[in-house]
Amino acid sequence: MKTILFISASLSPHSKSFLLIQKAIQCAEEKGFKAELIDLRQVGLPFCDGRSIADYPTNLHPIHEQIENADHLVFGVPIYCYSISGVLKNFIDLFSKAFKNKRFGICAAAGSKMSYLATADLVKILGYESGAVGVQPMVLVDRTDFDENRNVNPLVLERIERMLDAL
């Protein structure tokens, strides 16, 4: 059974990208994948300063191993000011070697659909730094994709399924 590691990169308690990740996990499990989650709200990450991961606190070592052991990755990305979150950039800086040659998908939540280029930046960062390969479609939503009860538009769920199929 293939494992998909879902990485939620928002620190907001009301994160829309985390809602997407929850839906993607549900879809992945229905498709027969083993789903694992790293919720960065639950991880105390130090700032990256270029050391080897072995020289950072030992609580990061299991995360590095979890990333290395995953078959695929899906990033839950909040987009702030037309860019990925600082916590995600720091996470990538810390663990970039573990992403080597992995296929990954993106579920991004933005203020507007005009923020789509932030996902292209993430693909370039992971491609150049780790040789990781982003799949299409990427899932980009804004507030209009959620109803008053925070339910996701069914068309978004279809894009999530197509992204998982591409992995």
- Res 113: pLDDT: 82
Exposure letters 19-31 (e unless 16+ CB within 10 A, then b): bbbbbbbebbeee
pLDDT tens per residue, the chain (167 residues)? 999 999 999 999 999 999 999 999 999 999 999 999 999 999 989 999 999 999 999 999 999 999 999 999 999 999 998 899 999 999 999 999 999 999 999 999 998 888 888 899 999 999 999 999 999 999 999 999 999 888 899 999 999 999 999 99
**pLDDT value of position 116:** 83
CATH topology for 3-166? Rossmann fold (3.40.50)
Q: Which two tokens stand for residue 127?
A: 């491609």
DSSP per-residue letters across the chain: --EEEEEE----TT-HHHHHHHHHHHHHHHTT-EEEEEEGGG--PPPP-S--GGGS-GGGHHHHHHHHH-SEEEEEEEEETTEE-HHHHHHHHHHGGGGTT-EEEEEEE-SSGGGTHHHHHHHHHHHHHH--EE-S--EEE-GGGB-TT-PBPHHHHHHHHHHHHH-
- Six-digit token pair at 88? 């995600």
What's the pLDDT at 122? Answer: 93
CA atoms in the 13 A half-sphere facing the CB of 67: 24
What pTM, to 2 d.p., does this model score? 0.95
Q: What is the pLDDT of residue 162?
A: 97
